[in-house]
Protein backbone atom coordinates (compact mmCIF):
# COMPACT_ATOMS: atom_id res chain seq x y z
CA UNK A 1 0.00 0.00 0.00
CA UNK A 2 2.78 2.36 0.96
CA UNK A 3 4.74 1.45 -2.15
CA UNK A 4 1.76 2.15 -4.39
CA UNK A 5 1.22 5.56 -2.83
CA UNK A 6 4.87 6.47 -3.26
CA UNK A 7 4.78 5.42 -6.90
CA UNK A 8 1.72 7.57 -7.48
CA UNK A 9 3.49 10.50 -5.89
CA UNK A 10 6.52 10.05 -8.15
CA UNK A 11 4.25 9.86 -11.18
CA UNK A 12 2.57 13.10 -10.14
CA UNK A 13 5.93 14.83 -9.87
CA UNK A 14 7.05 13.46 -13.21
CA UNK A 15 3.88 14.77 -14.84
CA UNK A 16 4.33 18.21 -13.31
CA UNK A 17 8.05 18.94 -13.28
CA UNK A 18 7.47 22.67 -13.68
CA UNK A 19 5.59 23.03 -10.43
CA UNK A 20 8.42 21.61 -8.35
CA UNK A 21 10.98 24.23 -9.31
CA UNK A 22 9.46 27.43 -7.98
CA UNK A 23 8.11 25.62 -4.93
CA UNK A 24 11.65 24.68 -3.90
CA UNK A 25 12.75 28.31 -4.08
CA UNK A 26 9.59 30.11 -2.98
CA UNK A 27 9.62 30.61 0.80
CA UNK A 28 6.84 33.19 1.22
CA UNK A 29 4.29 31.15 -0.70
CA UNK A 30 3.43 33.62 -3.46
CA UNK A 31 4.43 31.03 -6.12
CA UNK A 32 7.04 33.46 -7.46
CA UNK A 33 10.78 33.57 -6.85
CA UNK A 34 12.03 36.96 -5.68
CA UNK A 35 15.67 38.01 -5.86
CA UNK A 36 16.08 37.35 -2.13
CA UNK A 37 14.65 33.86 -2.48
CA UNK A 38 16.95 33.14 -5.42
CA UNK A 39 20.00 34.48 -3.57
CA UNK A 40 19.19 32.21 -0.64
CA UNK A 41 19.17 29.13 -2.86
CA UNK A 42 21.89 30.08 -5.35
CA UNK A 43 25.11 31.21 -3.71
CA UNK A 44 26.61 34.25 -5.40
CA UNK A 45 23.45 35.01 -7.39
CA UNK A 46 23.55 38.58 -8.71
CA UNK A 47 20.89 41.11 -9.60
CA UNK A 48 22.27 41.08 -13.12
CA UNK A 49 21.58 37.35 -13.39
CA UNK A 50 18.14 37.91 -11.94
CA UNK A 51 17.41 40.56 -14.55
CA UNK A 52 18.47 38.21 -17.32
CA UNK A 53 16.08 35.52 -16.07
CA UNK A 54 13.18 37.92 -15.46
CA UNK A 55 12.15 38.05 -19.08
CA UNK A 56 8.88 39.94 -18.51
CA UNK A 57 10.57 42.43 -16.18
CA UNK A 58 8.06 42.27 -13.33
CA UNK A 59 10.79 41.85 -10.72
CA UNK A 60 9.80 38.28 -9.87
CA UNK A 61 10.61 34.96 -11.47
CA UNK A 62 7.59 32.91 -12.41
CA UNK A 63 7.78 29.15 -12.64
CA UNK A 64 7.74 29.58 -16.42
CA UNK A 65 10.80 31.85 -16.30
CA UNK A 66 12.64 29.45 -13.98
CA UNK A 67 11.90 26.44 -16.14
CA UNK A 68 12.95 28.33 -19.28
CA UNK A 69 16.25 29.24 -17.63
CA UNK A 70 16.82 25.66 -16.50
CA UNK A 71 15.94 24.31 -19.94
CA UNK A 72 18.37 26.77 -21.51
CA UNK A 73 21.08 25.73 -19.05
CA UNK A 74 21.31 29.25 -17.63
CA UNK A 75 20.22 28.02 -14.25
CA UNK A 76 21.05 24.76 -12.53
CA UNK A 77 18.04 22.81 -11.40
CA UNK A 78 18.17 22.54 -7.62
CA UNK A 79 16.14 19.35 -7.86
CA UNK A 80 19.09 17.43 -9.29
CA1 LIG B 1 8.15 34.08 -3.25
CA1 LIG C 1 9.05 37.79 -14.29
User: 17-72 has which fold?
Assistant: Recoverin; domain 1 (1.10.238)
Q: Which ligand is nearest to the CA of 34?
A: 1
Helices H, strands E: what count in the chain? Answer: 5, 0
Q: How far is the CA of 1 from the centre of ligand 2 (A)?
A: 41
- Residue 61, classed as helix, strand or coil, is strand
Question: How many whole angstroms from 7 Cα to the centroid of ligand 2?
Answer: 33
Identify whether the C-beta of residue 21 lies closer than 8 Å to the C-beta of residue 67: yes
Query: Whole-structure pTM over 0.95, yes or no?
Result: no
Tell me how crowded residue 11 is: count the other CB atoms within 10 A of its CB: 10
Taking the centre of ligand 1 as the mean of its atom positions, its distance from the CA of residue 48, in whole angstroms, is: 19
pLDDT digits (tens, 9 = 90+) for 7-62: 565 555 554 454 568 988 999 999 999 999 999 999 999 999 999 999 999 999 99
Please say whether the beta carbons of 63 and 22 come within 8 A: yes
What is the Cα–Cα distance from 59 to 18, expressed in whole angstroms?
Answer: 20
For the chain, domain boundaries: 17-72
| Dist. CA 42 → ligand 2 center (Å) | 17
Amino acid sequence: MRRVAFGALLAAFAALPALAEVEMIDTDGDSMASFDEMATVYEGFTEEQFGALDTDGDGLLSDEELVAAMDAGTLESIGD
